[in-house]
Amino acid sequence: MRLACSRRRAFGWIAALPAVLAITPAAAQPWPAKPITIVNGFPAGAGTDIVLRMYQEALEKDLGTALIFEYKPGAGGNVGSEYVSKAAPDGHTLLIGTAGTHGINAALYKKLPFDVEADFTPIAPLADVPNVLTINPAVIDAGSVKEFIDKVKAAPGKFNYGSTGNGASTHLGFAQFNAAAGLDMVHVPYKGSPESIQAMVTGEVCCSFAQVQTVLGQWRAGKVRLLGVSTRTRVGILPDVPTVAEAALPGFENVTWYGLFGPKGLDPQIAARINAAVRKAQENPVLRDKLSAIGTAVRSETLDEFRATVKADRAKWAEIVRASGARID
């Protein structure tokens, strides 16, 4: 009798085994089992690429595998995002995303081939990327944010500002600034940072909300003036440049960020493991100094905190896009 019962239990377990394995396939597979590919929706040499490479050595050592960078630029980062949204959620294909790809684009583009919320797993932020109000003093000679605001208000519609493209963070950041300050300015979009900065240097436009690292050379050469950074606190590499909030517009903040994402369905344990590796790397003062040297700063958050950041950014940028009237069909 006992033998028959034992046999029945054994056969029942064997029959159920395939179903158990089907439910937990990841448990039978070590991770990482191969190099991790990080897809970048922007070109090699872009800010995302520079920051990611600063993390590379530490992450490879901690995770025990190589990182392979794959570039799929186009449509404001959407090409790379779409690729990762359809990748297997096994932790071997990730995306370096931005406030643009996961905040701005959802409101800017009429239709996307993926859902920025449902099709991705937020893993960890890498850096905050501030903008800085930059002017050509030969066009508008202002020594502070307040003086700049006063001069623009005195001549509504006279001054043009440049950006890296319609709907880019440099465009929307200035649109947010104009709304907060009550300014009437004309937007002139360019193809990228080099064209936008050159237009400002030559006087084609008076000013720009530029990413810090893109204007350091022109600033050091005395060709442009930096009036205020868009972050909550001052930028380490520019200790004498006040924030826009402290200089003129209390509460003003406009910060973009870079971060790692996986496809939807990524094992929470894998996401947590990558998050821990990123945060451990961020404790290294050498990495912090490297990021500071290009005008960026470490942004360290847990999985839940980063998920909340991404969600809040979508709502924030949706309102800024709506107010700016920018739209890409």
Domain residues for the domain of 243 are 130-247
Could you read off the pLDDT of 128-156 as tens digits, one per residue? 988 999 999 999 999 999 999 999 999 99
Task: Count structural domains, the chain.
Answer: 2
Residue 29 banded pLDDT, cuts 50, 70, 90: confident
1 occurs within a structural domain: no
Could you read off the pLDDT of 30-60 as tens digits, one per residue? 899 999 999 999 888 778 898 999 999 999 9
Q: What is the pLDDT, as a whole number, of residue 2? A: 43
Could you read off the pLDDT of 235-265 as tens digits, one per residue? 889 999 999 999 999 999 888 899 999 999 9
Same domain, 88 and 118: yes
Check which CATH number belongs to the domain holding 171 and give it.
3.40.190.10
6 occurs within a structural domain: no
Q: What is the pLDDT, as a whole number, of residue 227? A: 98
Average of per-residue pLDDT across 276-280: 98
Q: What is the mean pLDDT of the chain?
A: 89
Residue identified by tokens 């519609």 is 157
Question: In sequence order, what DSSP letters do the residues of 91-109 get, joined into one string?
Answer: SSEEEEEEHIIIIIHHHHB
**pLDDT above 90 coverage of the chain, percent:** 67
Q: In three state form, how does the secondary structure of 49-71 look? A: HHHHHHHHHHHHHHHCCCEEEEE
Using a 10 angstrom Cβ sphere, with 0-12 exposed, 13-18 middle and 19 or more buried, the burial of residue 117 is middle
Q: What is the pLDDT, as a whole number, of residue 6? A: 42
Check which CATH number belongs to the domain holding 311 and give it.
3.40.190.150
Is pLDDT of 19 > 90? no
Q: What is the pLDDT, as a whole number, of residue 268? A: 97
Token pair recorded at residue 123: 């893993």
Instruction: Please answer whether residues 77 and 109 qualify as being in contact, where contact means their C-beta atoms are separated by less than 8 angstroms.
Output: no
75 occurs within a structural domain: yes
Same domain, 203 and 312: no
Average of per-residue pLDDT across 65-78: 93
Question: Which residue among 247, 279, 309 closes a domain?
Answer: 247
